[in-house]
Amino acid sequence: MLCATFPIIVTALSLLGMSLTASAFPGMTAESLQARQAVPPVPLPLSQNEGNCGIIPCTTFNAADQFVDVRPGTPHQFVPPGPNDKRGPCPGLNAAANHNFVPHNGIGTVAQFAAGLEEAYNFTPELGTVLATIGVALTGDLIAGTWSIGDPYPASLLGGLLSSPEGLSFSHNAYETDASMTRADAYMNNGDAYHLQMDRFMALYNRSELYTLDIVRQHNKDMRDWSVQNNPYFFSAPFAGLVTPIAHTLPPLCFSNHSAANIQGYLDRTILKSFFAVSGPENALVYTPGHERIPLNWYRRPSNNKLGLVNGMSDLAVTAARFPELISIGGNTGTVNSFVGINPADVTGGVFNAVNLLQGNNMACFVLQAIQAATPSLLSGLVSALGLSNALNLLNNVINPVKSNMACPLMTTFNTGAFAQFPGSSWHP
């Protein structure tokens, strides 16, 4: 049933070779550059002892650096969304908006998201910039340079000529995808892949009282198996299909609370519930959509070990090494349990294959080029020709310098002909 596309071949995943220069991302600090050089090879056996900071262990705790002040009366106090504020499938973004780290209405620019996610979670500006730029290019207003973390919104006067911003909530197969941590598959839930499903949350919640990377990877595997077994339209696209396994690692990596006694951080049930907008006693949990919340007295990961593209993608590669099917491209062919995997070498004209994808910088190189290559078809019918060229320019300006600094093998073909057999690949809510 599961494709043999990515056999478990884990070679030293040395992302060490990466040396991004600060010029591409003016906000980048010497610290984040140093963190790059410190990425160790993936430990074998896979991940068993990995702390919640991820592949690069945290080594320090500094209360002043890590305390995120969300006390009532401060600029980052919790303010629930009003009726016109956008909230969507991503708890990290929803919570950042509720605490005004990013615009409270849920619509903002790349710079606003890059700065806000760094302040709230110690995302590197580089990672925030890449993810938010993809948000603008695929779901946003190409003239205003904004995007929505939830519902569609009216474009600016000129932007409206190019595209109509659909927002993260309706970015199925572009950004949002199947087999999510707590959200339903769009096809199985009348297009709603943005609200938390309590049974899925309970399945996660019940796994442990402390959530580690190993635990969320096992959850990821089970959610994926469920989709293959129940969703005839299950589809995992070359880019969006990787967003889910990345998202699964983010609660340990970025929702954990840190302290002197627990430098790697820990994620307990109370903290998990807060970030997922769930409250109430265990036998009567209640989900309040849009009320994702950073807990009081919470300490983020340290500034000398931010979460960036390199360590983030390394943790995705650990996931892939442990459960290769979680990063496979492909889907069900219209009935349940009919999963067919597409060989990455066939998609990329041989540039990336199941073996080299887990080596060096290739995972990051593939992710970045997959989104560049997929954009014309993802936007077809949604934006004008000028809109498409604007979107590609936006992506290229941010992604090309990263690619060249990583000395990425360059993809010249992107062959998606085989996707025709997957009805889920063209289904749009």
Ligand X SMILES: *[C@@H]1O[C@H](CO)[C@@H](O)[C@H](O)[C@H]1NC(C)=O
- Site for ligand X contains 60 (CB under 6 A): no
Per-residue CA distances from 381 to 42, 159, 163, 241, 277 (Å): 42, 16, 9, 21, 35
- Interface pick for ligand HEM out of 25, 101, 113, 299 (rule CB under 6 A): 113
Query: Which one of ligand HEM, ligand X, none interacts with residue 243, CB within 5 to 8 A by kind?
Result: ligand HEM
- Asked if 183 interacts with ligand HEM (CB under 6 A), we say yes
CB of 312 to ligand X, least distance (A): 23
Residue (203 or 340) nearer to ligand X, CB: 203
Question: Minimal distance in Å, beta carbon 382 to ligand X?
Answer: 37
Task: Note whether 202 binds ligand X by CB under 6 A.
Answer: yes
Q: Which of 175, 298, 339, 419 binds ligand X (CB under 6 A)?
A: 298
Shortest spacing between CB 415 and ligand HEM, in angstroms: 24
Backbone angles phi, psi at 55, to 5 degrees: -60, -30
Is residue 91 at the binding interface for ligand HEM, with CB under 6 A as the rule? Answer: yes
* Cβ pair 295, 257 in contact under 8 A: yes
Residue from 6, 153, 170, 175 binding ligand HEM (CB under 6 A): 175
Integer CA distances (angstroms), 62 to 118, 295, 345, in order: 16, 18, 45
Report the residue number whose CB is nearest to ligand HEM.
92
Q: Is 299 in the site for ligand X (CB under 6 A)?
A: yes
| 73 sits near ligand X (criterion: CB under 6 A) | no
Angle at alpha carbon of residue 267, lines to 262 and 269, rounded to 5°: 135
Residue nearer to ligand X on the CB measure, 257 or 311: 257
- Does position 176 interact with ligand HEM (CB under 6 A)? The reply is yes
Sheet strand arrangement including 329-331? 235-236, 329-331, 340-342
Q: Which of 295, 376, 401, 423 binds ligand X (CB under 6 A)?
A: 295
What is the spatial distance between Cα 152 and Cα 279, in angstroms, rounded to a whole number?
A: 28
Among 297, 337, 384, 397, binds ligand X (CB under 6 A): 297
- Burial of residue 14 (number of CB atoms within 10 Å: 0-12, 13-18, 19+): middle
Identity of the residue numbered 57: P
Is 203 near ligand X (CB under 6 A)? yes
Binding mask 257-286 for ligand X (x = CB under 6 A): x-x-----------x---------------
SS3 category, 82: coil
- Our finding on whether 371 is near ligand HEM (CB under 6 A) is no
Q: If we measure between CA atoms, which residue out of 174, 170, 169, 318 comes closest to residue 238?
A: 174
Residue 120 interacts with ligand X (CB under 6 A): yes or no: no
Write out the E strands in 199-311: 235-236, 278-279, 286-287, 298-299
The nearer residue to ligand HEM, 238 or 360, going by C-beta atoms, is: 238
355 alpha-carbon distance from chain centroid = 23
